[in-house]
Structure 1
Amino acid sequence: MTGAVVAAMLTTGLLLVVDGWRRARRPSLADRVVPYVRDVHPAAAEVPTGRLIEQLVGPTWRRLTRSIGESLGSNAAITRRLRRCASDDDVEDFRVRQATWGAIGLAIAVAVSLLAWSAAHPPVVALLLWCGAGLVGGCLACDQALSSQVRRHETRMRAEFPTIADLLALSVAAGESPVAAIERVSRVSHGALSLELGRVLADVRAGATVVDALDVLAARTGVLSVARFAEALAVAIDRGTPLIDVLHAQAADVRETARRELIESGGRREIAMMVPVVFLILPVTIAYTI
């Protein structure tokens, strides 16, 4: 194991030297331009001390994470899920975080393998498979964490939607325009759906129309009720139909859907409650009777 560690360190050092030599032969655009603009903009030539390690190993680490990420899932699906959970990260940031999780899983697997080797000397192939499983498990755990974040975000949006729709209806009934109503509701409320409304306002202020911003919200979100609400609101604004009736109808539909889902969940849990009754309580009762 000592020889393997020394060989791994030597190989890593050689790879870093080769990579640095290759990058030095082909300098980047910033390396070619900075010497000529140092007098005009001195801050352009400064290297932040806290990011020195990132600049040394950053390009190699990003290429490695990109190759690992493409083998574990498509970038389009990751982008769609990041948009659905209203995250500010991009695909590259997620890939870096995924590779970090994989490195942590690999480190834990290596530690367990060393303990197992010192205790029982298992086969080396099994230890290598265990280390590979730790690496893949860490990457998959990061992906599952993103999926869980998307589900929590959409659950909060689904729970907040009826109240937000009623507040929008009250604001429109008071005489405010749709944009002013959305701005007021997003300012006085806090939550996942108000964050999405804030993104709609940002798109409108950036130059998009209200209808286009609502269409983007309908395409971005994974909650069917919010997508229908955004589409209905866009159609109402485009065609001039009364917004108050549309908002109240959408809120009533979502409340009815939530009530139906609660009844269905209760029915499923009622069946699940039969498991401890049949397999635990009933055998104990029969054994006690016998």
Structure 2
Amino acid sequence: MTVLGMFLGGVAAVGVLLVVTFAPPFRAVRLVDRLAPYVHDTPPPSRLLGTATAPGLLTAARRVFGPVVADGARFVDRVLGGRAAVRRRLDALGGEQSVEDLRVEQVVWGGLGLLGAALVAAVGTLLAGSVNVLSVALLCLAGLLGGVLGRDWWLTQQVRRREDLLLAEFPVVAELLALAVTAGEGPAGAIARVTRLSGGELARELGGALGRARAGVPLGTALQQVADRTSVDALARFVDGLLVAIERGTPLAEVLRAQAADVREAGKRRLLEAGGRKEIAMMVPVVFLVLPVTVLFALFPGLISIVSLAR
């Protein structure tokens, strides 16, 4: 009970300290807060004009712990850095999320990791009956860093998964475009028809490029932006072929079919490589689990016979 009381008292003290530190009378007024009443003179648009979206973890964290989360996000950005690499991965993900939003999510993930580590430390302390301050501090620090870095790792996994989807969808989309071009459609018309009839990540990327082109951006520039946002070589070659066809009027259907065939062959090679890696990984349970059990079953009767004869 003494250990539990110490833990609860420490949590209460930290909470009171945070409340007092970030209370409006004690918090420093930023320049943005001073200028906001004079700059934001446009009334906010009606919510009826927007799409109804459920509040997520990021929105809830900003509403409840606004100043703390914002300060933590700026601190994480200063410590980790790499805004250009983060921006490139966010662009490759195809969303509208900003770097600041990602930093806020990293702070939230770090807070959840710290909370989980504190709970684990509290349970371990109750079971052990004594407090090891160094172990508790290291565990909380590991939970905090794991949460912050885990969000960055998850972003990388999201980008990789989306690029795999782009590669998987590319042959079908390329052949549909080749079919539309062969039927007499221009590149822009073929893209519009394919994006209207199909779905998926690649169709959404091409549809976004077509929408920017209809808004006034040159179609070549919009397609080049699609290639710049991803690191998929097949998509970059596909965009180069479209740009050459748009600028010079060269035949496009055969080029698209050849690119689709190349991507399919590359997909087959990746499947064979993945199968080879899985085959090696399957040897681990065979060698370390199945084989020892088989040897044990083979030697156990003889061992029992030797022991019985020795008696």
Look at both structures and tell me which one has the larger radius of gyration over its CA atoms.
2
Q: Which residue is 1:231 aligned to?
A: 240
Q: Which residue is 1:5 aligned to?
A: 11
Per the TM alignment, residue 27 of structure 1 is displaced from its structure 2 partner at its CA by 4.4
Q: Which residue is 2:253 aligned to?
A: 244
Alignment of 1:187 with 2:196, yes or no, is yes
Q: How does 1:94-173 map to 2 (within 5 A)?
A: 94-120=102-128, 121-173=130-182
Moved more, 183-192 or 231-240: 231-240
For residue 95 of structure 2, give the secondary structure of its aligned residue in structure 1.
coil
Conserved 8 A contact 1:233-1:246: no
C-alpha change, 1:139 and 1:21, in structure 2 (3 Å) is closer
Spell out, residue by residue over 1:207-231, the C-alpha distance to the aligned partner (whole angstroms, 9 max, x if none).
2222212221111112221122112
Moved more, 53-62 or 10-19: 53-62
C-alpha change, 1:251 and 1:19, in structure 2 (3 Å) is farther
Q: Name the TM-score, length of structure 1 as normaliser.
A: 0.85
Percent same amino acid at aligned positions? 44
Q: Name the TM-score, length of structure 2 as normaliser.
A: 0.80
Conserved 8 A contact 2:187-2:242: no
Q: Which residue is 2:74 aligned to?
A: 66
C-alpha change, 1:268 and 1:105, in structure 2 (3 Å) is closer
Conserved 8 A contact 1:160-1:191: yes
C-alpha change, 1:141 and 1:285, in structure 2 (3 Å) is same
C-alpha change, 1:114 and 1:198, in structure 2 (3 Å) is same
Moved more, 218-227 or 110-119: 110-119
One-letter code of the match for 2:71?
Answer: R
C-alpha change, 1:289 and 1:93, in structure 2 (3 Å) is same
C-alpha change, 1:86 and 1:33, in structure 2 (3 Å) is closer
From 77, 82, 88, give the equivalent of 2:96: 88
Conserved 8 A contact 2:238-2:259: yes
Spell out, residue by residue over 1:36-90, the C-alpha distance to the aligned partner (whole angstroms, 9 max, x if none).
x5xxx6x46xxxxx98994685244223212113323511111111111112211
C-alpha change, 1:210 and 1:19, in structure 2 (3 Å) is farther
Per the TM alignment, residue 283 of structure 1 is displaced from its structure 2 partner at its CA by 4.2
* CA–CA distance in structure 2, aligned partners of residues 130 and 56 of structure 1: 26
Aligned residues: 280
Per the TM alignment, residue 288 of structure 1 is displaced from its structure 2 partner at its CA by 4.4
What's the Cα RMSD here?
2.8
Conserved 8 A contact 1:186-1:198: yes
Per the TM alignment, residue 28 of structure 1 is displaced from its structure 2 partner at its CA by 2.2
* CA–CA distance in structure 1, aligned partners of residues 228 and 115 of structure 2: 40
